A and B are shown apart, each in its own frame.
Chain A
């Protein structure tokens, strides 16, 4: 069963690339990735550019309206995601807990919908 792990981070708490913690965080992601690969649960995963680069679109009456910025006003913003193929929610929780962002932000785990034929 596939799960999407959506990583939400408060931008003010992101680790700057020139800080000493950055390497630690990246090695945390590397370790998570290795575990996912080794256990055969990895489907895909990526980090996203900052929410300030986002464009939100809505199609209304056939017209595409685009808006600068993300859809929500929440403090924590979507920063990256994984898709993991796990046997159960227990496993998905265990793997998602390895995402370094979970230690200061939040990771939402959602089962990916499967359409019956």
Chain B
């Protein structure tokens, strides 16, 4: 029999230590799927043992040791038993000389390996987010499935396929060397930001998926602890905190989405904004501004502006100039045009949108921004058409409602 208190304790253990345990196990068994399966076996076993005998002195150490033994069992049972004898010997050796696995340094290293493995650029982005949530954050498969509004079996399959690819495609379980470091770190940051956005700009705008935002923030903090010399993880965390600080102002009383100009700024979390700004300043002092720091700088200007009108739009345009110089990305150019429309006039900004039509024609915010500029420039009929186009492209009901209201107000 499993006592409910014990089930809760096992869940809490996984949330707190799941990533560390799994990282250490993958390091020990050198096989992602085997580590995952053995950890599951150990947790199953923990539920029953602990219900009978109470919690052990150190639950994580108990789970770690049990998982290692479960891995030996699984290897012994496997068809290629003889081929695995070296692995089994290695594990038995580890078990005999089990180091105190709570040593902070090597563990930090193991977790970093785990993050880099899950966020390998050769793994599809959505899968990387899912795998990171499952493996590093210790979310259950059903929770990961929920986060993506997917069915659990489909998500379980996706995770198994990913671990299979890690095993078979030569995705190394290590912190990448200097030659691969920048590209791999970029991929890790992209995965974390995607995780955050999945929560923040959730396709169901009725609620912000706080759990995903919190996980992304938690992971970014962990990454900063693990890579203290890097500026961009700090930039990313600052960016996420500065967005996150404004979450209470983003949804109206009816649950609808509120744009920046109609948000109640008194609802913004000043302490979190201060945190974000402090972190961003720390990052910028390193003198290596990257895209996350620059985007955070823009969000910081918004977060610190007393009102929409009093926002320093000139400065925002200048930061977009720097971003565009590094990466001529159409979304940056769209945002720059919008900032310019407030720094100067809507009529001055409109011609900047024409060259973006081709690349952003299927992007809802492009048409919404264009509609707004047209309306402000006094071109009502065209503005209505642009809103209609945006409404057709909007994914979330709350977004559609918001755009309809804007269109009817013209």
* A residues in contact (CB < 8 Å) with B: 1, 3, 86-90, 92-94, 111, 116-117
Contacts and interface: CB of A to CB of B under 8 A. Distances in A.
Given A116-B80, A117-B83, A89 B176 contact: no
A79 B296 CA distance: 45
Contacts of A88: 170-172
B168 A94 contact: no
13 contacts: A1-B170, A3-B170, A87-B170, A88-B171, A88-B172, A90-B176, A93-B121, A93-B122, A94-B179, A94-B180, A111-B168, A111-B169, A117-B83
A116 B171 CA distance: 19
B83 A111 contact: no
Nearest to B174: A88
B184 interface: yes
Interface residues of B, number: 14
Nearest to A113: B168
Interface centre among B169, B171, B176, B184 (most CB of A within 10 A): B169
B83 A90 contact: no
Contacts of B122: 89, 93
A87 B80 CA distance: 24
A117 B81 CA distance: 12
Contacts, number: 29
Interface of B: 80, 83, 120-122, 168-172, 176, 179-180, 184
A83 B121 CA distance: 21
A84 to B, nearest CB: 11
A89 B172 contact: yes
Given A86-B170, A87-B170, 20 more contacts: A3-B170, A87-B172, A88-B170, A88-B171, A88-B172, A89-B120, A89-B169, A89-B170, A89-B171, A90-B172, A90-B180, A90-B184, A92-B170, A93-B121, A93-B122, A94-B179, A94-B180, A111-B168, A116-B80, A117-B83
Contacts of A116: 80, 83
Contacts of B169: 89, 111
A116 B172 CA distance: 20
A3 B169 CA distance: 9
Contacts of A111: 168-170
A86 B122 CA distance: 16
A100 to B, nearest CB: 20
Contacts of A87: 170, 172
A111 B170 CA distance: 7
Nearest to B116: A90
A113 B80 CA distance: 16
Contacts of A117: 83
A106 to B, nearest CB: 14
Contacts of B80: 116
A71 to B, nearest CB: 24
CB-based closest 5 A-B pairs: A88-B172, A1-B170, A89-B170, A90-B180, A116-B83
Nearest to B167: A111
Interface centre among A88, A90, A93 (most CB of B within 10 A): A90
